[in-house]
Copies of this chain bind each other. A is one copy, B any other.
Amino acid sequence: MTNIAIVGATGLVGKTMLEIIEGKDIPYSSLTLFSSARSAGKEIAVKGETLIVEELTEEKAKQSFDYVLMSAGGGTSLHFAPLFEKSGAVVIDNSSAWRMDDTIDLVVPEVNTPSLKRRIIANPNCSTIQSVVPLKALADSFGVKRVAYTTYQSVSGSGWQGIDDLTRGEKGEAPKNYPQPIHHNVIPHIDDFLDNGYTKEEAKMINETQKILNDDAIDVTATCVRVPVLHAHAVAINVTLEKEPSVADIKNVLGDFPSIVVMDDPTQNIYPTPLDAAGLESVFVGRIRKDNSLPNTYHIWSVSDNIQKGAALNAIQILEDLLSRKED
């Protein structure tokens, strides 16, 4: 008997969670869909059954769910996740609200395992997930000292609003979501600015990388940029290792790691692009080469669907992991 609830079921990540639950045939005895008041009443078909989306209220959060997948923004998470937790559920939360809380696990199943000190598990930032998967492979074999990220982030990272803004731009209309037009443009500004000149998105990549790899000694920096792509983020990762493996060694280690697909043969023009990764589950890596401007340093180009592995899929994989432990 597994009672599952999804909060934010009509959002882009929520909708994708439902598709993955159907596609993987995740077993449940009941599935309850929550949304804001605005989307409540909508009908969504899952596994042949038509479900009616309900407005989330404090009363409803007291129902006894086993697992609650939340993707409804930080404010909703801060308010409702503890209520679900108190009612006995394990919450897997896609917002940034809980990620850096010391008592909360921040989990990428290929990389780390939740301690379950609390029954709230945080799903990391999309660009961070597709970066820490290859970095964990490198950390295990060669040690990681420093990481510099430069990102190319698709508009689906902003949900339906981001996609709408790109579509609006293509029709010659002004943006409603982004501070600048995104059509035929790139915007070096994702989430709000902090006093130190970094954006919150950049701070997330820095802090979450250290937390997930469980190593505060890794120096991390980031520049995050929105690009006019619909699906899949690309991250140019510049990584300094403790050791100095050959590029072939690095390709072998990455190729042997779960979820990673190495697409790297310049002689055949093979490297991943966002269009290659859109809708797929893996983290695709290519353009792997030595950076001769610093010792023990390498370039890796990582591409993955930000709504799949970067959000909904990673959350479902955390759920699958919990379900399999329950069976053991």
The answer to whether A294 and B196 touch across the interface, beta carbons within 8 angstroms, is: no
Contacts of A179 in B (CB 8 A): 269
The answer to whether B238 and A148 touch across the interface, beta carbons within 8 angstroms, is: yes
Contacts of A219 in B (CB 8 A): 292-294
Contacts of A148 in B (CB 8 A): 148, 238, 291, 293
Q: How far is the CB of A243 from chain B (nearest CB, A)?
A: 19
* Complex CA–CA separation, A52 to B155 (angstroms): 46
| Given A184-B230, A247-B197: A271 and B150 interface contact (C-beta under 8 Å) | no
Sort chain A's interface into a size bin: 35 or more
Question: Which listed residue, B187, B189, B267, touches A193 by the CB 8 Å rule?
Answer: B267
The answer to whether A273 and B221 touch across the interface, beta carbons within 8 angstroms, is: no
The answer to whether A221 and B301 touch across the interface, beta carbons within 8 angstroms, is: no
**Is the CB of A286 closer than 8 A to any CB of chain B?**
yes
**Is the CB of A48 closer than 8 A to any CB of chain B?**
no
* Complex CA–CA separation, A273 to B234 (angstroms): 19
The answer to whether B293 and A221 touch across the interface, beta carbons within 8 angstroms, is: yes
**Is the CB of A23 closer than 8 A to any CB of chain B?**
no
Contacts of A185 in B (CB 8 A): 229, 273-275
**Is the CB of A287 closer than 8 A to any CB of chain B?**
yes
The answer to whether A180 and B273 touch across the interface, beta carbons within 8 angstroms, is: yes
Q: Which residue of B lies closest to A198 (CB)?
A: B289
**Is the CB of A27 closer than 8 A to any CB of chain B?**
no
Interface hub of A147, A187, A230 (most chain B Cβ within 10 A): A187
Interface hub of A220, A221, A234, A269 (most chain B Cβ within 10 A): A221
Contacts of A196 in B (CB 8 A): 289-290
The answer to whether B229 and A184 touch across the interface, beta carbons within 8 angstroms, is: yes
| Given A180-B275, A219-B294, A293-B220: A189 and B227 interface contact (C-beta under 8 Å) | no
**Is the CB of A181 closer than 8 A to any CB of chain B?**
yes
Q: Which residue of B lies closest to A152 (CB)?
A: B186
The answer to whether B227 and A197 touch across the interface, beta carbons within 8 angstroms, is: no
Q: How far is the CB of A226 from chain B (nearest CB, A)?
A: 10
* Complex CA–CA separation, A274 to B184 (angstroms): 8
Chain A positions within 8 Å of B, measured between CB atoms, are: 146-148, 150, 152, 170, 179-181, 184-189, 193, 196-198, 219-221, 223, 225, 227-230, 234, 236, 238, 247, 266-267, 269, 271, 273-275, 286-294, 299, 301
27 contacts between A and B (CB under 8 A): A148-B148, A148-B238, A148-B293, A150-B223, A152-B227, A184-B229, A184-B274, A185-B274, A185-B275, A186-B234, A188-B234, A188-B271, A188-B286, A188-B287, A189-B271, A193-B266, A193-B269, A196-B290, A197-B289, A220-B293, A221-B238, A221-B292, A221-B293, A223-B287, A223-B301, A227-B227, A228-B228
4 nearest CB pairs, A to B: A197-B289, A219-B293, A193-B266, A150-B150
